[in-house]
Amino acid sequence: MNVRVADIAAFHTYATSLGARFLTEPIDRKAEIRCYMRDPDGHLIEVGQATGMLHDVYADPPA
């Protein structure tokens, strides 16, 4: 599942305070900031916030 939020830092802090366990901290990928977590059934959830892509800045292509 992929979810977009307006303020990923605030979401990460709030969700962590409720007991959510993240696989990664928020990572700045130029076009967006994203982090990953799993739901109680083990499904992967990507949480992201659009940043650079709002200004035509995109992530670097894979190596």
Kindly list the domain boundaries of the chain, sorted by start residue.
Answer: 2-55
Single pTM value for the model: 0.77
pLDDT score for 31? 84
Render pLDDT for 28-56 as a digit per residue (tens, 0 to 9): 988 889 999 999 899 999 999 998 766 67
C-alpha to C-alpha distance for 42 and 63, rounded to whole angstroms: 29
Q: Is the pLDDT of residue 23 over 70?
A: yes
C-alpha to C-alpha distance for 31 and 33, rounded to whole angstroms: 7
Tell me the Ramachandran region of residue 39: left when phi exceeds 0, alpha when psi lies from -120 to 50, beta otherwise.
beta
Q: Classify domain 2-55 at the CATH class level.
A: alpha beta
Please report, as a single letter, which amino acid is at residue 59.
A
